[in-house]
Structure 1
Amino acid sequence: MRHAESVTFGGSGFDRAAWLRPKPDELRALLGTDEARILPVWRGKPLIAGSAAGWLAVGHPVFAAAGEAQVFLGLDNGAARFAADISGWEPEAGEMPVDSVFFDPTEQHHPKLPEDHRFAELRNVMATLRPRDAELVATAKALIGWHQNHLFCSCCGSPSEVADGGWLRRCPACGAPHFPRTDPVVIMLITRGNHTLLGRSPGWPEGIFSCLAGFMEPGETLEAAVRREVAEETGILVGAVRYLASQPWPYPSSLMIGCEGIATSHEITLDPVELEHALWLTREEVAQVLAGDHPTLRPPRAGAIAGFLLSNWVADRLD
């Protein structure tokens, strides 16, 4: 797709300045400049200021609750950008997050910040961010989430240490290096003539359907993963497969790989463990869904690659 990177979290041309990561003295110097800014992330929620990322100056009182060393994200027009985990901060009891299958709608306000600054679930605000902020916030959320889940060496079990500006954890006991991981996920626009295949997982809000998706397995190509996932979940057979676009998906560390697959069968045999329901919709019906005019189906979440693929299919802009 010619405009694939216009998807939310797509490439904004940000300079990640990887050459600076193994240079702690230079990173400290950058952190000490007036232009440097840090994005706080609280228990997976980035700070949002209005409809933008909530960048704060170095030394802001919010960072009194920061844990390990700041993560170096890169240079934004020459200015250093970092992220810091402040999960140690405790909000008021009435502002605590809630467990949810789909997303957490609560927002937390820090007393040292303006009223429009709040820690929010990224799924709920991702479509409002400008492309540069979206890329940086996605990177920050994914990296900090990786650190939270990889505190110990997977080789010997010893506590590991942050290195290379947050892009490496090294074990001081056995010397093993550990790098951030990204899990590849195929998400499929399955078409058969003027129809496309959508499904919904158990626990989703009423009326929400989406493109089928699933994690890739070791030793598997994109094409094979698309065919396997669709067959496993719906019994539909897929022939030709082609890549369309990708989207970083920091929930917590996936890469959504959007593909089109041409179905060679039509009858759905549902796997009830994976899906609650699946159906074929015409292009005209999908247009209704996207416009919010369908009688029973709701539009996909703004910013998600599923909606991006469906919108471009309806508009005949997949090339």
Structure 2
Amino acid sequence: MSADRPPAYCDNALDRAAERRDDVAWLAEQKARKDAVFILLAGDRPVVAIDGEALRIRHGAGLAKSLGASEETMLLGLERAEEGTRPVFCAQVSAAVEEIEADIEAASSSALKLIDLRSLAMQGTLPDGDTGLLAQARSLSHWHATHRFCSRCGHETTMAQAGYRRDCPACSAPHFPRTDPVVIMLIAEGDMALLGRPHRLAEGVYTTLAGFMEPGETIEQAVRREVKEEAGVAVGPVRLLANQPWPFPASLMLGCEGEAASREIRLGDDELEDCRWFAREEVRQMLEGRHPGGLRVPPPISIAHWLIRRWVHDGAPSATD
């Protein structure tokens, strides 16, 4: 990525300690450490401590216990601390919202609040690296919540490898967390960019096209297929530029640029309510919030914004296979 601010959720400096995940004794020692910290989630929303204008997502074992943290505690990894490294875990809590969103202590100025990941990223108030850590925690936690039963025999599964596997005691099938790859692409021809409006977007927002990859498909093939299906535009050379973890619930956005091989737009499926070619200067106006028609692009937390900004500032794509 360029020197410009990268999209949200990309910065995660944890040592995931994958080689220690089968060491049950070591994991117990790490969990019992006084400096161990816990990322706590209530459903899809992290528990955030508010200290004045500062936000904290790391909590101690005492708070985790008081909020009813699940026994299925997952190790996210090890992070640098003042003295060496400390373990970072995540867990779901069972406490009700009103129990969570209260003063931590009567004598404390801190309070707890549930704030969704998108809002936290949009606010930009968390320290560097914290949104990446939350993306890891949220994606992993969501997988456990939705894969409690074996897809082979239907028996209830148990957590293994510090949260990176679930095992079936009935048929011995192992199950691993999944990440869904999504191609997201800035398609251009010269000084014109292809942007569309999915039905879910706020009024006036136009963005790059995107879609899930299919089995047996390369990134380049997925880009060409999705653009053809959604907009009827043929695409030639394609290049992968960047990628972004997207924890809604657990995708990897593969940011690409591609050169259009045709210009006629024919909306094919129901993904888009509108799709247009925009001149570079018009996209610049949308990016800078000064478009005369009030049109705009997605917020900076997304890789779509990064792709659009890059195209506006760096010139037309020069993609090659």
Q: Contact (CA 8 Å) 2:103, 2:112: kept in 1 or not? A: no
**3-state DSSP class of the match of 1:59?**
helix
Q: Contact (CA 8 Å) 2:103, 2:111: kept in 1 or not? A: no
Q: Contact (CA 8 Å) 1:207, 1:297: kept in 2 or not? A: yes
Q: Contact (CA 8 Å) 2:143, 2:177: kept in 1 or not? A: yes
Tell me which of 102, 108, 112 is aligned to 1:117.
Answer: 112
Higher Cα Rg: structure 1 or 2?
2
CA deviation after TM superposition for structure 1 residue 63, in Å: 4.7
Is 1:85 the counterpart of 2:77? The answer is no
After superposition, the C-alpha distances for 1:228-270 in whole angstroms (9 at most, x for unaligned) are: 0000000011000001000001101100000101001111111
Residue 66 of structure 1 is matched in structure 2 by 69
Question: Which consecutive unaligned segments of at least 5 residues does structure 1 have?
Answer: 96-107
Residue 290 of structure 1 is matched in structure 2 by 287
Residue 21 of structure 1 is matched in structure 2 by 21
Is the deviation greater in 32-41 or in 12-21? 12-21
Is the deviation greater in 108-117 or in 253-262? 108-117
CA deviation after TM superposition for structure 1 residue 31, in Å: 1.4
Residue 234 of structure 1 is matched in structure 2 by 231
> What letter is aligned with 1:213?
A
CA deviation after TM superposition for structure 1 residue 188, in Å: 0.4
Tell me which of 44, 54, 57 is aligned to 2:57.
Answer: 54
CA deviation after TM superposition for structure 1 residue 7, in Å: 3.0
Is 1:310 the counterpart of 2:317? The answer is no
Q: Contact (CA 8 Å) 2:229, 2:269: kept in 1 or not? A: no
The separation in 2 between residues aligned to 1:4 and 1:254, in whole angstroms, is 23
Q: Contact (CA 8 Å) 2:40, 2:64: kept in 1 or not? A: no
Is 1:10 the counterpart of 2:7? The answer is no
Q: Contact (CA 8 Å) 1:246, 1:257: kept in 2 or not? A: yes
The separation in 2 between residues aligned to 1:155 and 1:65, in whole angstroms, is 31
After superposition, the C-alpha distances for 1:249-298 in whole angstroms (9 at most, x for unaligned) are: 11011000001010011111113511111111122111111111113213
Question: What RMSD, in angstroms, separates the aligned Cα atoms of the two structures?
Answer: 2.2
> What letter is aligned with 2:27?
L
Question: Which consecutive unaligned segments of at least 5 residues does structure 2 have?
Answer: none
Is the deviation greater in 64-73 or in 213-222? 64-73
Is the deviation greater in 141-150 or in 290-299? 290-299
After superposition, the C-alpha distances for 1:61-102 in whole angstroms (9 at most, x for unaligned) are: 66532234211000011110011111x32224xx9xxxxxxx
The separation in 1 between residues aligned to 2:49 and 2:313, in whole angstroms, is 34
Is the deviation greater in 262-271 or in 181-190? 262-271
Q: 1:64 to 1:12 in 2, by over 3 A?
A: closer
Is the deviation greater in 227-236 or in 260-269? 260-269
Q: 1:62 to 1:190 in 2, by over 3 A?
A: farther
Q: Contact (CA 8 Å) 1:248, 1:254: kept in 2 or not? A: yes
Q: 1:89 to 1:292 in 2, by over 3 A?
A: same
> What letter is aligned with 2:15?
D
After superposition, the C-alpha distances for 1:125-147 in whole angstroms (9 at most, x for unaligned) are: 21413332121110000000000
Residue 105 of structure 1 is matched in structure 2 by none
Give the alignment of 1:1-319 within 5 angstroms. 1=1, 6-50=6-50, 52-60=55-63, 63-77=66-80, 78-86=85-93, 88-92=94-98, 109-112=101-104, 117-127=112-122, 128=124, 129-271=126-268, 273-294=270-291, 295-316=293-314
The separation in 1 between residues aligned to 2:209 and 2:71, in whole angstroms, is 38
> What letter is aligned with 2:121?
M
> What letter is aligned with 2:306?
F
State TM-score, norm by structure 1: 0.88
The separation in 2 between residues aligned to 1:5 and 1:17, in whole angstroms, is 28
The separation in 2 between residues aligned to 1:264 and 1:2, in whole angstroms, is 27
**3-state DSSP class of the match of 2:184?**
strand
**3-state DSSP class of the match of 1:248?**
strand
Q: 1:291 to 1:116 in 2, by over 3 A?
A: farther
Q: 1:316 to 1:206 in 2, by over 3 A?
A: same
After superposition, the C-alpha distances for 1:146-205 in whole angstroms (9 at most, x for unaligned) are: 000000011110000011111110111111110100110000010111111111111321
The separation in 1 between residues aligned to 2:65 and 2:268, in whole angstroms, is 47
